[in-house]
Structure 1
Amino acid sequence: MRLFISLFCIMVFNVASAADFTLYFTRHAEKLESATSDPALSPKGLKRAKNLAKFLQDKNIKAVYSTDYKRTEQTAKPTAEQFELPIIVYKANELPTVAAMLNEQQQNALIVGHSNTTPMLVHLSGGEAQSIDESRYGDVYAVTYSQQGPSTEKLMIEPQTAINVTPLPFEHEKLTSGKTKFRIMQQGQEAGYAIQDLIVKKEQVEITEINMLEQQNINTIVKVWADADTLKPLQMRMSGAINKPVDIQLNFADNHVTGHSDMARRPFHQQGKLTIDRWLPAFSYERASVLGVIQAINYSNKPLYFNWFNGQDEEVKVISVQKTGEAQITVPAGQYDCDVVSVTGGAPSLIYYISKADSSVVKIHIPALNREYEKVEI
C-alpha cells in the first residue's frame, strides 16, 4: 500500500512527549540493469530488502517512507508489510521539509532514498553520514535521538561481499617519468583539460595533476609524493579553486596523517577549515597517489581491496580495484587495445582504460558525473 500525504498534514500530529526514537536511513537495494529511468530491484536487491525487514523486525517501526520509484518502494515494501504499515511517499527535492517532519514525528521509522539523497537527509535530520558510491549497497544509518542529542551508527545489511583488505601490489617498474594530457568531455561536450606529470625517482614517486573546467569554476593543482616501493603516501598538496579557494596540506608518517583541509565540500560534510590529526587503518593509501599510478597496480579479474584516505573531506573508505573487461578505445591520441579497470567505493566510481601496449592511461570515465578524460597528443 502506498500513501501520498501532505507533509504539512503529517507534521500536525507531532507527539511532543515521545521517548527516545531511532530513524533508519538507507539507499535502495541493487537494481536491474535497464535502459529505463525507473528500474525494479534485481534478485539480489529483493533479497537485501527482505534482509532489511528481518533486521528491523524488533525495532518497533512506526512509519515507512520512500521516494516515488520502483527500486526504493520495493526496498521499503518487506518492512512495510511486516509492520502492516503503508509506504509514505516523499519527494526527493523536499529534503529539508522531510527532515523537519521526521524530527517532529519522534517515532522509529525507515526512510529509503538514493545515493545522492540519503547522506543529505541524514545530515538534515541531525545525523552524520558519508557520501555513498553508486556501487555500494546495504549501508544503514541509524540515527538515535535522546536528551543528549542525536547519535549515528552505521550498520550493514546482508548480503555483503567478503572483503579482505590487503597491501596494494604496486609494480614500480611499470612507471616511467612523463607528461600526459587529457581533454575533459562533459555530457558529450568538451569542457576543459587535465594534465598529469609523473616523476619517477629511486626512492619516491611525485605526481602533479592540473584540472581546468572553466564553466564549473574548477582550477586545481594537486601534488602528491609517495614511496617508490610501497606507494605509502608521504605528502599531499592541493591548491586552486572548486567554486571557492582550495587549500589542502597533508603530511603522512606510517599510518598517521596531519595537516589541514579547506575547500567547498558536499553540504552534508563539515564546512570550513578542517584540522587533520588522525591515525589511519592498516593498508591505507592517499586517494590521488593511487589514481595517479593506477596503471602500475597489479590488478586482475578478482577485486583488490584497500583503504584510502580522501583529504578533501577526511573520509576513509574501503576501495576495490578490478579488471572488468577489455575494449578497443579511440581517443584523440589514437586507437588503443585496453584493459578496463574499475575503481569502486570512492563516491564516485571510476573506470580506467589502460593500454595493453604501454600501460598508459588512455581514458577515464566517471559515470556519476557523465564526465570523461580522453588522452590527447602533447
Structure 2
Amino acid sequence: MEQEPDIKQRKIIHIDMDAFYASVEQRDNADLRGKPIVVGGSPEGRGGVVATASYEARKFGIRSAMPSKRALQLCPHVLFVRPRFAAYKEVSQCIREIFSRYTDLIEPLSLDEAYLDVSEDKQNIGSAIEIARRIKQAIKDELNLTASAGVSINKFVAKIASDLNKPDGLTFISPAQIEQFMEELPVEKFFGVGQVTAAKMKNMGLHTGADLKRLTEQELTHRFGKVGGFYYKIVRGIDNRQVQPHRETKSMGAEDTFPYDLTTIDEMSAELQKIAGNLANSLLRHQLKGRTITLKVKYSDFKQITRSLSFASPVADHETLFDTAVDLLVKSDITDKKVRLLGISMSNFGEHKPVVMKGNSVQLELFP
C-alpha cells in the first residue's frame, strides 16, 4: 500500500447505527418488533419515500430512498410509521455523548453515523478496535440499540468496513490488508460511483479496484473528471481527509447522468421524480431543511445551466422538490434540447438572506 509522505497514520472509526429510525421505533413500541416497518412518507396520494426500513422489511427488497408505493408493492403487509425527529435527535445526542468519552474529534455525517479519530484517545486505551467495541457495547447497554463499526487508518476504508457485517458488526481492516481490500472492492462501492457511473465503468471492463488501478491518474481524470484523481489515490489506500468536528453542510444534492439523452419533458420528469426522492431522503436523514432549490441541467453538448428558486420558509419534502424542479425545467426553454444529466440540490440552510441574481442562476422569492 502506498502512502503519501509525512502523513501520520491515523486510527479512524466509522460508526453507523443499524436501521436507526426503524430500530428506535421498534425499541419504543413493542407492537412493531419483529415486523417489517418503514419509517417515512405514506404511500397514499403521490406517495412519499422510505427514510429507513427495518431489517425485516429489507428482506423483501425495501431500501432507503425507495418510493413508499414501491415498498408497499414489495411487501403488502409492511407497516408505515411517521418519523419522530425529536426522538431520533435525542437518541443521537446520547450517542454523541458516548463518542465524546473517547475523543473530541467527531465528524457527524447524519443523526445515525459519524467518523471518530481516536489516534489519541481520552482514556489512553490505545486500541481503536477496543474503543469501537466499548462504544458499541455502551450503545447497546444504555440505549438498547445496535451499531456497526468499521476501523482502519482512513475514512474511506473505515466507512466501507462498517457496512461489511451489518447489523451489530465490527470490522477492522489493517494497513497490510488495505491494498488487497481495495483491489477486490467492486467499483459500485467507490466514492462518487452511482448506478450510471458503475454501468459505464463495467462497459469499459472496469469491475473492481484492481481494474481501476491499471489506469493512470491522467486516464482516470480524462474518463471521470476530477473524481478520477480521488479514485487513483483511494485504490492505492491513500485517503488523507481529516475528521472535521465542525463540518457545516452548505448544500446537499442528488443528480444522475443518463445512458442515453433525454428529449421529452415526460422522460425528464420521470427522472426528476427519482432524483427528488433521493434528495428528500438525504435531507430527512440529516434532519435538514433549506430555502433554495436548484435545478442543474447538462445538455448533450456538455453546456450546463442552473436555475434556482428560493422560499420564504424552509422546505425539504419530496413533493416540493419535485414540483419545483419540474417548474424550473419547463421555464428553462429545453425545446429541441438533448439532456444528459439532471440534478437537484438544496441550500440556504441558515438564516434567511435577500435573494440575488448570480451567474445564470435565477433566484425568485415565493411568499406564503
Same fold (TM over 0.5): no
Q: Choose between structure 1 and 2: higher helix proportion.
A: 2
Q: Choose between structure 1 and 2: higher strand proportion.
A: 1
TM-score (norm 2): 0.26
